[in-house]
Amino acid sequence: MSASSGMYDKIFDAVIVGGGPAGVSCAVWLSRLGFAPVLVEAAGEPGGLCRSHSYMDEWNASLPGMTGTQVADNLAHSLHLADVPLRLSCRVDRIDADAQGFTVHVHGLDAQPLRGRSVVLASGVLPRGRAQFAGLAGVLVGPGAHVSDHDFHGKSVAVLGGGDNGFENALYVLDHGAKSVDLYARTVRAQRQFVQQLPRSAIHVGEYAVDGARRSVNGAKYDLLMVFYGWEPCADYAESLGLRRNAQGFIATDTQTAQTSHPGVYAIGEVAQRQHPCVVTALADGVTAAKAIQARLEAA
């Protein structure tokens, strides 16, 4: 959308940062409720992490038989049907608050700032370990398309991390031709069904030493390292708001309204570390924030 369209001549009821399930849900509900949201997404398409999830999403009871990519396509279609204005390929750099609302500064294809009466942080998470292993050949960090696109045939693989992602991807590697798989975990937190499927001899629990450059763990060398150290919130752009965070660095919110410690600022989805993060809970979070924004604006 060009500047001449009037996007910059108005104050939006909500500037929503992040086009994953939570942000899309909030934007669609606000639009359907008669308000004026705008959605800002760093990628070229909405969908969030669903875009990089090419596997079947069997956990979404409303959309059986669909892959994550298909779910992302449906999210984009919902935005179109609700006539939600989009700012794609735009990364938010900073958010400033004043008496009238918020100014959201962006960097990207269209770098003009946006004004909003409220702001919704729905920018999700990024895999931990990206900085530690950045630029190292033969090291895959976090789940996604880079895993499903990889050829594991005949390779020895070390998987680092004791959560669901670690065990699920270790099983995926075994099913796709790896010569061997060893999983290293300081503690095991994964679902029992995943732990029981992986051979016990492949699971190593306790402290371990990693050399990413040599692709070795406890001195043993591998063709490939896969790192699943969990997630960290993607919300550095909101530092100027001084939002309260929990011990892990995620945005603290009121669970009934998704309101943060700053009036008019809401955080939804995985950036707020929901108890059971998935597409369905993210969608529900978006509804929670939309209804809270409705109540706040109508009261004003």
**Which sequence spans correspond to the domains of the chain?**
3-126+231-299, 139-227
Pick the CATH number of 3-126+231-299 from 3.40.190.10, 3.10.450.50, 3.50.50.60, 3.40.50.2300: 3.50.50.60
Please determine, for residue 53, whether its predicted confidence score (pLDDT) is greater than 90.
Answer: no
User: Cβ(266)–Cβ(257) under 8 Å?
Assistant: yes
Please determine, for residue 274, whether its predicted confidence score (pLDDT) is greater than 90.
Answer: no
pLDDT digit string (tens) for 186-216? 999 999 999 999 999 999 999 999 999 999 9
pLDDT digit string (tens) for 105-122? 999 877 789 999 999 999
Closest CA to 106 of 27, 15, 36: 15
The architecture CATH gives domain 139-227: 3-Layer(bba) Sandwich (3.50)
CB-based burial, 208-235: b 16+ in 10 Å, e otherwise: eebebeebebeeeebebbbbbbbbbbbb
pLDDT at 224: 97
The residues, any chain, with a CB within 8 Å of residue 263's CB and separated by 6 or more, are: none
CB-based burial, 58-90: b 16+ in 10 Å, e otherwise: eebeeeeebebbbbbbbbbebbeeeebbbbbbb
Closest CA to 115 of 265, 13, 239: 13
Q: Do domains 3-126+231-299 and 139-227 have the same CATH topology?
A: yes
Q: Any idea what the Cα angle at residue 155 is, between residues 153 and 160, rounded to 5°? A: 120
User: Cβ(92)–Cβ(120) under 8 Å?
Assistant: no
pLDDT at 2: 38
Please determine, for residue 1, whether its predicted confidence score (pLDDT) is greater than 50.
Answer: no
Overall average pLDDT of the 267-278 stretch:
88
Q: Are strands 101-108 and 90-98 parallel, antiparallel or unpaired?
A: antiparallel
Please determine, for residue 42, whether its predicted confidence score (pLDDT) is greater than 50.
Answer: yes
Whole-number mean pLDDT of the chain?
92
